[in-house]
Chains A and B, each alone.
Chain A
Amino acid sequence: MTSPVGEPGTGRNGGEGGDVVLSVRELSVEYSTGAGAFRAVDGVSFDLTAGAALGVVGESGSGKSTTALALLGLHRNTDARVTGRILLGGPDGVEVNGLDDEGVRRVRGGRIAMIFQDPMTALDPYYRIGDQIAEVYRVHSGADRRAAWTRAVEVLDRVGIPDAARRARARPHEFSGGMRQRALIAMALACEPEILVADEPTSALDVTVQAQILDLLDELRADTGMALLLVTHDLGVVSRSADEVLVMHRGEIVERGPVREVLRAPARPYTRALLDAVPRIDAPRDARPVPGEPLLTVAGVTREFRRPGRGLRRETTRAVDDVSLDVRRGETLGVVGESGSGKTTLVRMMVGLLPPTSGRIVFGGETITGLPDRRLRRIRRDMQMVFQDPASSLNPRRTVGDGIADPLRVRGVPDGEARRTARELMERVGLDPARHDRYPHEFSGGQCQRVGIARALALRPRLLVCDEAVSALDVSTQAQILDLLRDVQEEYGLTIVFVSHDLAVIRQVSDRVAVLRGGALVELADVEKLYASPTHEYTRSLLAAVPVLA
C-alpha cells in the first residue's frame, strides 16, 4: 500500500479532513450462478469525507460499478446478495444494508444521489426534463408542484443550462449528451445530498464536454461540500478530479492512496500494468518515415443528409463538408474528432459504403465514386473495416470460424480452403484455432475484436479502416489490440485509416493525423507536429481538454 491515508479505521481522513459521511466496511456482493456463488465485490472497506473526491478505478469486471450500486441499495430485489456494512453519516450513521425498502427509498436521492454513464438513456424520453427533476424533488421534500418546478429550474441553472426556465420544458432528445449529463447532475443536486456517486459520468462524452462536466463536479463539490465517489476506468479522469483513489481488481481493493502518489509510484504490479497500458498523450514515440504515393485520395468530398423540416421544406445536414486528403501507401492515418464531426461518414465513403453527395474518391488509381455495384464489389475486397462494437458486429448465430471464412466463401474460395485459412487467421490474431466452432458470445470483448480483425484480414486487403475499433475495450485489452494491428500492418503491408475520438490512442498509432470538426477538415499534419505545435485553434482546445496522468 502506498499510504494509509483514507484507509478505514485509521482515524485520519483524506483531503481537508472533513467529517466522514460514508463508511463502508467489508462490503461483499455475491451472485449465485449455475457454477456456484460468484463474488463481484469482495470485502471492500473505505471512508468518504465531506467535500472529498474519491476515485474508484478498475477494468470491466473489477466490481467498481457493483460497489457503487450497492451504496444505494440498488441490488435489492435482484439475485445479488449484499453483506457488510454501509454506514451513511460515518461510523455511527444509518446502516443502509439494514434499512427496510421504504427507508432505503428515502435515502436514495435524498442523502446519496447517483449519476450514470450513459446520459442518453438515463432520463425518461417521454417527460419534460423539468418535470422529471421536479418529480424527484417532490418525492423527497413534499413541496407543491409550483415550488418543485421552481427548484428544477434553479438547479438546471446552477449546472449551467443556458436559459434554464425555457429549457426545463424540453424533453431529453432535445438535449445534447453533455446537457443531459448536466440535467442528471441537476436532478442529483435538487435534494442537496451529502454524497454524489458518479458511475463513469463522462465515458460517453467528448473530451471537451468531459472537461466541462468534470469542472462542474469540482465546482459543486467546493460550493456545497458534497462528497464525490467517482467510478471510472479512465485513469486520466481520476488523476484530474479525485484526491484519493482506490484501485479495484477482481472485486478487491488492491491499492489505495492519494491520487498523485498512486499514479506516480504505484506499489502494486497490477496498478503498474494498468498505468503502462494507458496510451499517453505526452509519451515519446518513435516516428516512422511516411512513404509518399497515395493509395486512396479523397477529393473535395461532401455528404449531405436530408430530413423533413417544417411544412413542405426539408432540412439538409452537411455531415462531411468538402474534405480533401490522401491516404499514403503503408501509413496509418489517424482521423480524430468529436461526436458529430463526420468521422464515420467520411470513412464509410472511403470504402464505398456510402456515396458522396459531391466530390470523388480514388482508390489505387481508380475512381470508385459512381462505380456500378458489380465493379465496386471487386475493389471492395481490397478495403476492409473493423467496427467499434466487437460483439454486435459479429453475427451471433454464426461460429467465429464461419464468420471469418464467410468473406472468402463469398469470393468463391472452396469451403475446405476457407476453413483452413480461417483457422490460420485465428492463430495469427492470437486466438486458439480449436475454438473456431464456438459462437461470439463465448468470447470476451477483446477476443471478439480479434475475430473482427481476422475477418477483415481474410481477403488480404490493402486498406484497413478501423472505426473506433478499440473504444469499447479496457486499457490493457486496448493495448494488446493496438499491438496486434501494428504487427499485421507490417506483415500484410497494410495501409490503415484509424478513426477514434481518443487523442492519446490516435497519437500512439498514427503517422499522420486528420482533425475533423463539424464535417470539415481543420488540420492534417504529421503526428509529432500536430501534437507538439498544432496550428488550428480547435486542435489546441481538443488537446488541452485531454486529462493528463499526474
Chain B
Amino acid sequence: MTLYLLRRLGSLLVLLLVMTAIVYGIFYAIPADPAVLVCGKGCDGGRLASIHHELGLDQPITAQYWHFLEGLIVGRDYSSGPDVSHCAAPCLGYSFQTDLPVLSLIAQRLPVSLSLTTGALVLWTVTGVALGLVSALRERRLTDRLVTVFVLGGLGTPVFVSGLLLLMVFCGWLKWLDFPVYVPLTEDPVGWARNLILPWLTLTILQSAIFTRLTRTGMLETLSEDHIRTFRAYGLPERRVIGRHALRGALTPLISINAVEFGAVLVNAMLTETLFGLPGIGQLIVQSSNNVDLPVVAGLTLTAGLAVVLANTAADLLYAAVDRRVVLT
C-alpha cells in the first residue's frame, strides 16, 4: 500500500514533467507569437521587443521552461518596470493575455468543471447501470434490443449534436428551461442543478452506453458463476440473488472503467462547456490555446494530468476497498 502510493507519486511527477515539456516543445515549434496578440494594433518593433522581454520570450525556450519549473517549486519574481512582484510556489505564472495569475484563473473555473463532470458522472453511472440491469435480465428480448439501439445511438452522437438538440427541444420549443447560465452551488443549489441539467444529460447520453454494455455483460457473466448457483440452491429469493450477489460482482469493474474513461470525459466536458457557454476549464483551454497563452496552457496541462492521475489512484484505492482480494503494488 505504502509502496503503491510512493510508486504512484513517482509516476505522477514524471508524467507531469513530460507533459509540460511537450507543451513547451509545441509552443516552441509553432510559428505564432503571443506578443503580437498582446501588442495589438499600432504595434511597432520597439514595443514588440519590450513585450518580448517582459513576457520572457526573448530567452531560449529551455530557460523559459526552467523558470516555469522553478516557479512551481520555489516561486519566482516578476519585474514589470520598477516594481518587483513575488509569485510564491506553486507559481504557474501570469497569463500573457490578461496578466492575471494562472493559478487563480484555474481556481476560479475549477468548480464549474467539477460541477459538470461529477454531476454527469453520477447521472450516467445510474442510468448506465439501470439500463444494463434491465438489458441483462431481459437478455435477447425486445427490451434488451431497444436499450442496445438507444445507448449505441447515444455513443455515436457527438456532444455538439446531442447538446444542440437538447437545447432546441427544451429551451427552444418546449421552453421548459432557460438557456443555461452557470450559478454556483453555494449561492443557489436549485438554480445550479436546473442550469446544469442539460449539460449533464448531454454527457450522459454519450457516456452511459459504455456503462450499459459493461453492466449487461458483467451481470450475465456473474449470473453464470458458481456462487450465484450456490445462493439459488440455498433458496435465496431471486431479487436478493440479483440485487446483493450478482450486482456486486458486475459493478466492481465499473470503478476502474470510470477512471480509464476519465480522460475522454475531460475532452467531452470541454466541448460541452464550450457549447453551453459554461465558464469552466474547458472554455479556458480553448481560449488560451487560441491566444497562444503559454502559461495558462501549461497550467491547465498540469491540472488535467493531476486530475487523471488522482482519478486513477482513487479508483485503485476504491477497488481494493471493495474487493479485498486485490493487493495494490
Contacts and interface: CB of A to CB of B under 8 A. Distances in A.
A and B are interacting partners: yes
A108 B237 contact: no
B227 A125 contact: yes
B325 A124 contact: no
Given A106-B235, A173-B325, A311 B1 contact: yes
Given A122-B230, A124-B231, A135-B236, A173 B324 contact: yes
A139 B235 CA distance: 8
A108 B323 contact: no
Given A124-B227, A308-B329, A74 B232 contact: yes
A125 B248 CA distance: 10
Nearest to A68: B233
A437 to B, nearest CB: 31
Nearest to A308: B329
B3 interface: yes
Contacts of B314: none
Nearest to A173: B325
B98 interface: no
A121 B235 contact: no
B323 A136 contact: no
Given A107-B235, A108-B234, A136-B234, A116 B240 contact: no
Nearest to A101: B238
Nearest to A314: B3
Contacts of B2: 311-312
B225 A136 contact: no
Sort chain A's interface into a size bin.
Answer: 20 to 34
Given A74-B229, A122-B227, A126-B248, A140 B235 contact: yes
Nearest to B234: A109
B322 interface: yes
A74 B1 CA distance: 43
B245 interface: yes
Main SS class of interface, B: helix
A139 B230 contact: no
Given A126-B249, A173-B325, A118 B234 contact: no
Sort chain B's interface into a size bin.
Answer: 20 to 34
A185 to B, nearest CB: 12
Contact of A136 (B235, B249, B325, B329): B235
Given A74-B232, A308-B327, A105 B227 contact: no
Given A123-B227, A125-B323, A125-B325, A74 B233 contact: yes
A146 interface: no
A113 B230 CA distance: 10
Interface in B213-244: 225-227, 229-237, 240, 244
Nearest to A125: B325
Contacts of B232: 74, 108
A527 interface: no
A260 interface: no
A281 interface: no
Contact of B230 (A105, A116, A171): A116
A262 interface: no
A139 B252 CA distance: 26
A187 B229 CA distance: 14
B222 to A, nearest CB: 10
Nearest to B324: A171
A513 B313 CA distance: 50
A295 B6 CA distance: 48
Given A121-B225, A173-B325, A311-B1, A184 B235 contact: no
Interface string A115-144: 010100111111100000001100110000
A450 B297 CA distance: 64
Interface in B133-176: none
A110 interface: yes
5 contacts: A114-B234, A116-B230, A125-B323, A136-B234, A311-B3
Q: Which 10 A-B pairs give the minimum distances between C-beta atoms?
A: A109-B234, A108-B235, A121-B226, A109-B235, A136-B234, A124-B227, A114-B233, A173-B325, A105-B235, A122-B230
Given A72-B233, A108-B232, A308-B1, 14 more contacts: A74-B233, A105-B235, A109-B235, A110-B235, A116-B230, A125-B249, A135-B244, A136-B231, A139-B235, A140-B235, A173-B324, A184-B230, A187-B234, A312-B6
